Chain A
Amino acid sequence: MSPSVRLQEMIRVIRGARTQGEERGVIQRECAAIRAQFRQADNGTRSHNLAKLLYVHMLGYPAHFGQMECVRLIASPRYNEKRVGYLGAMMLLDEKQDASLLITNSIKNDLSHSSQYVQSLALCTLGCMGSAEMCRDLAPEIDRLLRASNSYIKKKAALCAVHIVRKVPELGELFTPASRSLLSEKNHGVLHGAVVLITELCERNPETLEQFRKAVPELVQIMKGLVMSGYSPEHNVAGISDPFLQVRILRLLRILGRNNETASDAVNDLLAQVATNTDSSKTAGSAVLYETVLTVMDIKSESGLRVLAVNILGRFLLNNDRNIRYISMTSLQKIVQTDHNAVQRHRGTIVDCLKDQDASVKRRALELSLALVSAVNIRSLMKELLLFLSSCPPELRAHTTSGIFNAAERYAPSQRWHIDTILHVLTTAGGDVRDETVPNLIQLITTATELHCYTVHKLYRALIADISVQSLVQVACWCIGEYGDLLLRGECEETEPVQVAEDDVLDALETVLQSHMSSPATRGFALTATMKLSTRITHNVDRIRSIVSIYGSCIDVELQQRAVEYNALFKKYDHMRYPALSTTALGPVSSTAGGDLLDLLGGLDVTPGETRSYHVTRPGKTLGPNYRLFMTFVSHSHPPQSVQLQMKAPSGDVIPAHGLGQVTQTVLLNNPNKVSLKMRVRVCYTSQDFVCQDTVQIDSFPSPAW
């Protein structure tokens, strides 16, 4: 029986095993037989035994005892044995194994073998698993093959050189001269290898990059030849002539043209030609167009060409192929900051992609939509985002809500719109919002004085409809406590009038207090609100008193403490009740336990002269495992001319998650004329892969400051 059939027979037997245990048994027997065969003298079956071992290895079983056999087979003069030996070396030996060094000599010999197929084996193996030491040893050989051999060997030598340069970058200098001359080869395989090698050399060495800029005209010629050539059966893929080579040349031109006017100019025409002539009905053409667009956007192209590129991406957005829509959006994401207006033109299509079935496409569309929000489109775009929120996949909800809040904060056309938007988000996805949403919303409502009546009515209605969303319930309770008098008055300019009796309101608050859905914090809000109402209502103060006294013996310590204190207000300090519970005045940014974005701590250095320094600390947030922050700048809003601002570097640029650390950035403000100042602070940060922004306004500094 021919040995090769025995290999297939073994495979058949292994596959026939009905249980894992049976398979293990078969394999153990086979491995024992293989081991025995390895120990024997050469009997012509060595290569087949190694092949069997490689199959067993692929199933996940240990095969290290075959390593020496690989070394032996590689050294054999017979091609069939070398072939399997080298395959085994690539599968079982990597640079970390000692045995790999033993094959260096065989490889060296085989690189000069009379048969190109043996040379090929050596080149392939070296290029796949050659260690730094082996690469150093054999680099001169590879250089020789780059210069003087047939195209079959040259193309392999070029990629082998790429591997060598990746392992030992200093050897790049050795290959630079040969790689330059390879560009004049006609053979596509060699050309492709040459372009890959030159790309690698240029990426690692700026001087080499400078040198190869002179090759740009030659590369342009080659590319033109490919694009304008007629049908070439050997390299044609769906109407494109050698898309693999075209893409690699485009990428090399990108590297050479980056930050260089001359090189960029030289390729402008070519890029326009490729962009307009390439048929993108199949993937091959789209791949070339995609690479062209990336190149146009990365080098110093003319503005007309950039617009053309963005339009290609816009066309991709409408493509039926989901892959093409996806890469279009990743590309648009990269350029949305630099070419904002051009991308805005495709906003409609991007927003449509929010409705795509594919989760990856949805995610990309969300990122892009958030990046495209502006003062002009905020109303229409927010409608789409809110629609998206109501049906978006759960893993995107938190990001969507924070994106919506940021956008609303930056571009809200009116306070009423802002409040409505936040309320809409809370009703739709209140469980997925950040901790500081509640204090932020409270702050917002407080400052919107004309809307207190409207807001309390709206929140009351939301509360009686549903008390399950904690964030919404908390804000509603707070609002009812603060502005309960406006609620009970009945009339409101902005909404339909509705009669709300004191009992109704107290019923609602009591429901929250008693519900098992309410968290302890929510109960705290509800209790405080109930207490505050004692100064806003007239008939039911006794009811309030009894509610409060019940909670004086509540199990929850926090709640109990509150209730006891409120009880005391009723009994001993009744004269203080009204002043203590009156409407909160507007104040500066407050810090809360939830982790407000900025916290003005004390830290005033009172030094002689007029410079004061403030330590602005950013408590570590509790979201997500990989939270990185870059505090980029602090800007004055309308700085008076006499005021000077100096920002020091932040103490770090990464905040660990889960509140495990903080970053401090010192800002020195010199205010010699003691002008009253407001300050707006914007913090830009990346969390996981998303770029986020938060803005906070500081309306007043503590009075001893100046």
Chain B
Amino acid sequence: MMHFLLLFSRQGKLRLQKWFTPIPEREKKKIVRDMTTMVLGRKPRSCNFLHWKDLKIVYKKYASLYFCCGLDAEENELLALEVLHRYVELLDKYFGNVCELDIIFNFEKAYFILDEFLLGGEVQETSKQVVSRSIEASDMLQEVSERPCSR
């Protein structure tokens, strides 16, 4: 399973953090610090896999954002790259040519999309269209419920 997924910028600013195991707040901060240091310190053409404690770390840079996840030792690293890529595609479809600012100003949407794609650290839906359609429907429902006359 995936233990955590982090998105951070080139300057190490955190843009999204999803934790799939219960970890105390202080330790979360330490993990984030460790990940940003390790990943930002990598040379440009290194491979995308690292070892950290007993986890495999898979990361990929998309424009100005680093997508970094921590996996159990028996996970397939190449597939993890595909998972990260799928999430980026979903964000891209939703925001239309997604950029870092979209994720900053609409962070809650980024989480909602993630929650339609992963659950409990595992992939829950393998079809891009199904995920996109679910998000659209949820957004519609949200819009309806926000109207003052609805109950």
User: Are both chains from one complex?
Assistant: yes
Q: Which residues of A line the B interface, CB within 8 A?
A: 8, 11-12, 15, 44, 51, 54-55, 58-60, 77-81, 83-84, 87, 94-96, 115, 117, 120, 123-124, 127-129, 131, 152, 155-156, 159-160, 162-163, 166, 188-189, 192-193, 196, 234-235, 237, 242-245, 247, 251, 283-284, 286-287, 290-291, 294, 322-327, 357-361
Residues from chain A with a CB closer than 8 A to the CB of B46 are 322, 358-360
**CB-based contact A243/B82 at 8 Å:** yes
- Which single member of A12, A80, A94, A160 contacts B142 (CB below 8 Å)? A80
**CB-based contact B77/A323 at 8 Å:** yes
Tell me, yes or no, whether B37 is within 8 Å of chain A by CB: no
**CB-based contact A247/B108 at 8 Å:** no
**Shortest Cβ gap from B122 to chain A (Å):** 5
Expressed in whole angstroms, the Cα–Cα distance for A80 and B104 within the complex equals 20
Interface pairs A-B: 7 shortest CB-CB: A287-B78, A127-B120, A79-B145, A163-B120, A159-B119, A322-B47, A287-B79
**CB-based contact B126/A235 at 8 Å:** yes
- Which single member of B47, B79, B108 contacts A84 (CB below 8 Å)? B108
**Shortest Cβ gap from B44 to chain A (Å):** 10
Interface residues of B in 93-121 (CB under 8 A from A): 104-105, 107-108, 111-112, 115-116, 119-120
**Shortest Cβ gap from B119 to chain A (Å):** 4
- Which single member of A78, A155, A284 contacts B124 (CB below 8 Å)? A155
Tell me, yes or no, whether B141 is within 8 Å of chain A by CB: yes
Residues from chain B with a CB closer than 8 A to the CB of A81 are 145
**CB-based contact B119/A291 at 8 Å:** no
Expressed in whole angstroms, the Cα–Cα distance for A2 and B72 within the complex equals 43
* 20 pairs, A vs B, C-beta closer than 8 Å: A78-B151, A79-B144, A83-B138, A83-B142, A87-B108, A128-B120, A159-B120, A159-B124, A162-B120, A193-B124, A234-B129, A235-B127, A244-B79, A244-B83, A247-B76, A287-B78, A287-B81, A322-B45, A326-B47, A358-B46
Residues from chain B with a CB closer than 8 A to the CB of A234 are 127-130
Residues from chain B with a CB closer than 8 A to the CB of A55 are 107
Identify 16 new A-B residue pairs, CB closer than 8 A, beyond the known A123-B119, A243-B82, A327-B78: A15-B104, A79-B142, A87-B112, A152-B134, A159-B124, A166-B1, A188-B125, A235-B126, A247-B79, A283-B82, A287-B79, A287-B81, A291-B79, A294-B76, A322-B46, A323-B81
**CB-based contact B82/A54 at 8 Å:** no
Expressed in whole angstroms, the Cα–Cα distance for A327 and B76 within the complex equals 9
Residues from chain A with a CB closer than 8 A to the CB of B138 are 83, 117, 120
Expressed in whole angstroms, the Cα–Cα distance for A283 and B104 within the complex equals 29
**CB-based contact A188/B78 at 8 Å:** no
Residues from chain A with a CB closer than 8 A to the CB of B111 are 87
In the complex, what residue of chain A is closest to B77 when comparing beta carbons?
A327
**Shortest Cβ gap from B39 to chain A (Å):** 13
Expressed in whole angstroms, the Cα–Cα distance for A263 and B149 within the complex equals 61
Residues from chain B with a CB closer than 8 A to the CB of A127 are 119-120
Tell me, yes or no, whether B87 is within 8 Å of chain A by CB: no
* Interface residue count on the B side (C-beta < 8 Å): 57
Number of cross-chain contacts by CB at 8 Å:
156
Expressed in whole angstroms, the Cα–Cα distance for A358 and B112 within the complex equals 37
Expressed in whole angstroms, the Cα–Cα distance for A120 and B133 within the complex equals 14
Residues from chain A with a CB closer than 8 A to the CB of B146 are 78, 80
Q: Is the interface of A mostly helix, strand, loop or mixed?
A: helix
Expressed in whole angstroms, the Cα–Cα distance for A124 and B20 within the complex equals 11
If A84-B108, A287-B82, A327-B49 touch, whether A192 touches B123 (CB-CB below 8 Å) is yes
**Shortest Cβ gap from A3 to chain B (Å):** 9
**CB-based contact A155/B81 at 8 Å:** no
**CB-based contact A188/B126 at 8 Å:** yes
If A127-B119, A357-B45 touch, whether A44 touches B148 (CB-CB below 8 Å) is yes
Residues from chain B with a CB closer than 8 A to the CB of A243 are 79, 82
**CB-based contact B126/A162 at 8 Å:** no
**CB-based contact B82/A78 at 8 Å:** no
Chain B, 1-20, contact with A by CB distance < 8 Å: what is the 0/1 string?
10000000000001111011
In the complex, what residue of chain B is closest to A151 when comparing beta carbons?
B130
Tell me, yes or no, whether B64 is within 8 Å of chain A by CB: no
**CB-based contact A115/B141 at 8 Å:** yes
**Shortest Cβ gap from A92 to chain B (Å):** 10
Q: Which residues of B line the A interface, CB within 8 A?
A: 1, 14-17, 19-20, 22-24, 29, 43, 45-50, 74, 76-79, 81-83, 85, 104-105, 107-108, 111-112, 115-116, 119-120, 122-130, 134, 137-138, 141-142, 144-146, 148, 150-151
In the complex, what residue of chain A is closest to B85 when comparing beta carbons?
A283
**Shortest Cβ gap from B62 to chain A (Å):** 15
**Shortest Cβ gap from A485 to chain B (Å):** 54
Residues from chain B with a CB closer than 8 A to the CB of A357 are 45
Expressed in whole angstroms, the Cα–Cα distance for A115 and B150 within the complex equals 15
**Shortest Cβ gap from A588 to chain B (Å):** 42
**Shortest Cβ gap from A239 to chain B (Å):** 13
Residues from chain A with a CB closer than 8 A to the CB of B77 are 323, 327
**CB-based contact B137/A192 at 8 Å:** no
Residues from chain B with a CB closer than 8 A to the CB of A84 are 108
**CB-based contact A323/B48 at 8 Å:** yes
**CB-based contact B142/A58 at 8 Å:** no
**Shortest Cβ gap from B61 to chain A (Å):** 13
Expressed in whole angstroms, the Cα–Cα distance for A124 and B116 within the complex equals 8
- Which single member of A11, A160, A327 contacts B120 (CB below 8 Å)? A160
- Which single member of A196, A235, A237, A360 contacts B122 (CB below 8 Å)? A196
If A51-B108, A327-B78 touch, whether A156 touches B49 (CB-CB below 8 Å) is no
Expressed in whole angstroms, the Cα–Cα distance for A77 and B145 within the complex equals 9
Residues from chain A with a CB closer than 8 A to the CB of B120 are 127-128, 159-160, 162-163
Expressed in whole angstroms, the Cα–Cα distance for A95 and B150 within the complex equals 34
**Shortest Cβ gap from A151 to chain B (Å):** 9
**Shortest Cβ gap from B74 to chain A (Å):** 8
**Shortest Cβ gap from A26 to chain B (Å):** 16
**CB-based contact B47/A290 at 8 Å:** no
Residues from chain B with a CB closer than 8 A to the CB of A159 are 119-120, 122, 124
Expressed in whole angstroms, the Cα–Cα distance for A247 and B80 within the complex equals 11
Residues from chain A with a CB closer than 8 A to the CB of B16 are 58
Expressed in whole angstroms, the Cα–Cα distance for A289 and B74 within the complex equals 15
- Which single member of B1, B19, B119, B129 contacts A156 (CB below 8 Å)? B119
Expressed in whole angstroms, the Cα–Cα distance for A132 and B4 within the complex equals 20
- Which single member of B47, B79, B105 contacts A360 (CB below 8 Å)? B47
Residues from chain A with a CB closer than 8 A to the CB of B85 are 283
In the complex, what residue of chain B is closest to A164 when comparing beta carbons?
B120
**Shortest Cβ gap from B37 to chain A (Å):** 16
**CB-based contact B137/A156 at 8 Å:** no
Residues from chain A with a CB closer than 8 A to the CB of B83 are 244
Expressed in whole angstroms, the Cα–Cα distance for A325 and B77 within the complex equals 12
Residues from chain B with a CB closer than 8 A to the CB of A117 are 134, 137-138, 141
In the complex, what residue of chain A is closest to B143 when comparing beta carbons?
A80
**CB-based contact B49/A323 at 8 Å:** yes
**Shortest Cβ gap from A117 to chain B (Å):** 5
Expressed in whole angstroms, the Cα–Cα distance for A484 and B82 within the complex equals 67
Residues from chain A with a CB closer than 8 A to the CB of B19 are 94
**Shortest Cβ gap from B140 to chain A (Å):** 9
Expressed in whole angstroms, the Cα–Cα distance for A95 and B81 within the complex equals 30
Residues from chain A with a CB closer than 8 A to the CB of B144 are 79
Expressed in whole angstroms, the Cα–Cα distance for A15 and B104 within the complex equals 10
Residues from chain B with a CB closer than 8 A to the CB of A251 are 74, 76
Residues from chain B with a CB closer than 8 A to the CB of A163 are 120
